[in-house]
Amino acid sequence: MGIADAIRPLFGGGGRRRVRTVVLDGEPVTNALSAPLLSPDDARAAYAAIRGGGTQGLSMGSPPALGGEIVDDVAEGLSLGAGGNDAAIAVAPTAEAPERFAAEELQRYVEQVTASRLPIVEGYCSRPGFILGWGSLREEEAAVAEGELAGRGEDGYLMHSFGSRIALVGNSPRATLYAVYHFLEKYLGCGWCVPGEDVVPRRPTIRLGAMADAVGPPDFTLRQLILYPYGPQWMHVNTLRHVDWLAKNRLNWAHAAPNGPGVWEASRSRELLVPEVRRRGLHLQVGGHTFSLWLPPDRYAESHPEFYALLDDDSRRADGTHETSLCVSNPQVIETVAANINAWLEANPEVDAVDLWHNDSYTYCHCPNCLSPGAVDEASARLAYTATYVRFVNEVARRVGARHPRVLVNLLAYAMTTACPPAGERCDDNVLVGLCLFPRPPQRTLKPIETSDLPTDAWLRPQIPAWRRVCRRYYIYEYYTWAAEYHKWTAVSMIAEDLRYFLRIGVDGVSSDQWGPYWYPLNMYAFARLAWQVDLEPDALLQDFCDRYYGPAAQPMTAYWRALEEGLRESWHTDRPPDWRDEARLGLIREALESTGDDGDARRRVLATAELHDLPFG
């Protein structure tokens, strides 16, 4: 890319623009802003930065050493803390909620690190400090930022110093927040390893030199975390912490799964959850297993029993349990479900996608209109029913789209609807398809799906490209942390292999279920980082996590997790279960505990890891 292309305005619309061109180092440089041309020094700096390139991904080096100063060997820069510049954080008067929140987060964490509170000012500020968002940039700075961010997608962002002013800007308000969190992580040593448990070092002085980090686009456009379990009892202990964590780790979709009627409202979701999602600029998907939400049996079953699935014994079950399902070929069901979704969206206008999933069972309608005459066995019956389910979702999505054109309707290929019908109709453009790789929670199979010889994986593998071919919007639904009996072991290497495979065959997005009380820290950290950049090495991810999370015990804990990963990778080439190196890991936990000294947080985290893996330490 030439610099003329690199600094073209990213958000240029129609109309005429004043264009000026100069020659710099023998190459014409066009400034298409209706502003004064870049100064020679700034133009040369822009040229050097763009020619040197930025980075598509995330730094995986160790965080800065704790204590003392961070000092770059530069003539000018920004100093924070004791003896620092009279610094401030500048935001535009018109800044959107995520940019204002980004300023507050930067202010909060810089104060925690340095004990120095930076003021937030609106508009242009000549003082040293930080520039958040586009509205507070000088025009020559905006030209550099636009060039660096061209082609990096809506989640791309820039961390760029202009003397003693550091610009943290993104291609969307959410991306500006990502820039702040990445800056705090890379340059101040913060860590976002576990929800509700930030790692924030303490340093009296920080001196920051030149930086020019352009990041993006992420490999997957949809990077999602399921917020489950969901309900009033989970809102503060899990849900809100997980929303905070997913934004800090640059996921972009929060997926609340109430899984039934009344739960969203009982949880005071619009009061508690929605503001936290909006202030981070995240996309919001709501639903989970929703057949009984959109057609509640206590409202319809008595007057319209035909709305509910005809079972293979000619009975209908409409008791609101997981076994309740719908007759998805019934035209009145289509109209009623669509009307109820539209009414719900009018009361919840912040929602970007709604789920139209079966209840969590294998129950489906066996009426002649939901199946086809060629359904002679269970496999063919499921394929026939899945084709009807696709038509049902399309019909509902058309009615929803007419009233709410920006909202997606999510079809979940799951359980009896996992296999893609070979002659089924294509999904409409406002249908978001998720393929759930069930029954394959990775903690049970642990082999990369592309090369696994396990029967379940071999059956699921062709479904991934098959669903890709029949829809515009597509993600894989996985299980990278799950209930107690399955959550014990590391799967970082497998997650890396799987996400690389998904990307190669054209998958748009990745999502992970999780069981809030049994959060698996390393797997989820790796999932989030790899969802942005699949070519990160598992060993580097592991090292980064341990350096931030375990502090003084990082070295033995890195060895601990490496032992597990080695056992995992060895098992891919044998029929034997993984050798988890139990004796070696016991010794490494003892060494790690000795290394923690008087660091109570590090000791607690080491003990939590031992408990996670049922090792006898108390």
Which pLDDT tens digit goes with each residue over 557-604?
Answer: 999 999 999 999 999 998 888 888 989 999 999 999 999 999 999 999
Question: pLDDT-based confidence at 514, cuts 50/70/90?
Answer: confident
Question: pLDDT-based confidence at 486, cuts 50/70/90?
Answer: low
Question: 401-421 pLDDT, tens per residue?
Answer: 999 999 999 999 999 999 999
Mean pLDDT for all residues in the chain: 87
Kindly tell me if the per-residue pLDDT of 444 is higher than 60: yes
Contacts for 233 with CB less than 8 Å, ≥ 6 apart: none
Tell the residue number behind the tokens 């980075």, with chain if given: 55
Q: Would you state the pLDDT for residue 31? A: 29
Closest Cα to residue 591, out of 542, 545, 555, 539?
555
Kindly tell me if the per-residue pLDDT of 3 is higher than 70: no
Kindly tell me if the per-residue pLDDT of 55 is higher than 90: no
Which tokens is 395 given? 């019909």
> What are the CA-CA distances from residue 556 to residues 203, 376, 574 (Å)?
25, 58, 28
Average pLDDT over residues 508-521: 86
Q: Would you state the pLDDT for residue 520? A: 87
> What share of the chain in percent tops pLDDT 70?
86
- Output 329 or 613, whichever has higher pLDDT: 329
Q: Is 213 helix (H, G, I), strand (E, B) or coil?
A: strand
Question: 351-371 pLDDT, tens per residue?
Answer: 999 999 999 999 999 999 999
Report angle CA 287, 292, 295 to the nearest 5 degrees.
Answer: 105
Contacts for 160 with CB less than 8 Å, ≥ 6 apart: 49, 141, 144, 145, 148, 166, 167, 169, 211, 212, 213, 214
Q: Is 57 helix (H, G, I), strand (E, B) or coil?
A: coil
> What are the CA-CA distances from residue 445 to residues 362, 437, 527 (Å)?
22, 11, 17
Cβ-contact 528, 222 below 8 angstroms: no
Distance CA 366, CA 364 (A): 6
Average pLDDT over residues 485-512: 89
Average the pLDDT over each of 81-85, 140-144, 224-228, 524-528 and give the range with the smallest value: 81-85
For residue 541, the cross-strand partners are none
Kindly tell me if the per-residue pLDDT of 192 is higher than 50: yes
Domain boundaries, the chain: 3-215, 290-410, 545-612
**3-215, which class in CATH?**
alpha beta
> What is the full DSSP assignment across 462-522?
THHHHHHTT-SEEEEEEESS-SGGG-SS--HHHHHHHHHHHHHTT--EEEEE--GGG--HH
For residue 61, the cross-strand partners are none
Q: Are strands 165-170 and 129-132 parallel, antiparallel or unpaired?
A: parallel
**What is the CA 495 to chain-centroid distance, rounded?**
14
Kindly tell me if the per-residue pLDDT of 470 is higher than 60: yes
Which burial class, exposed, middle or buried, applies to 24 when counting CB atoms under 10 A from its CB (0-12, 13-18, 19+)? Answer: middle
Q: Would you state the pLDDT for residue 441? A: 67
Buried b (16+ CB within 10 A) or exposed e, 440-473: bbbbebbbbbeebeeeebeebbeebebbbebbeb
Q: Phi and psi (nearest 5°) for 465? A: -70, -25
Q: Would you state the pLDDT for residue 57? A: 55
> Sign of dihedral through CA atoms 38, 44, 48, 51?
positive
Question: pLDDT-based confidence at 75, cuts 50/70/90?
Answer: very low
Q: Would you state the pLDDT for residue 191? A: 98
Kindly tell me if the per-residue pLDDT of 462 is higher than 60: yes
Question: pLDDT-based confidence at 214, cuts 50/70/90?
Answer: very high
Q: Would you state the pLDDT for residue 481? A: 78
- Output 588 or 487, whichever has higher pLDDT: 588
Q: Would you state the pLDDT for residue 443? A: 59
Tell me the whole-structure pTM to 2 decimals.
0.88
Kindly tell me if the per-residue pLDDT of 532 is higher than 80: yes
Which tokens is 121 given? 């000012």
> What are the CA-CA distances from residue 405 to residues 18, 277, 461, 607 (Å)?
36, 21, 33, 50
Question: 108-163 pLDDT, tens per residue?
Answer: 999 999 999 999 999 988 899 999 999 889 999 999 999 999 999 999 999 999 99
Which burial class, exposed, middle or buried, applies to 185 when counting CB atoms under 10 A from its CB (0-12, 13-18, 19+)? Answer: buried
For residue 162, the cross-strand partners are 165
* Angle in degrees, 0-180, between the axes of helices 554-571 and 492-504, rounded to the nearest 10: 60
Kindly tell me if the per-residue pLDDT of 21 is higher than 70: no
Question: pLDDT-based confidence at 81, cuts 50/70/90?
Answer: confident
- Output 616 or 227, whichever has higher pLDDT: 227
Q: Is 167 helix (H, G, I), strand (E, B) or coil?
A: strand
Q: Would you state the pLDDT for residue 56? A: 53
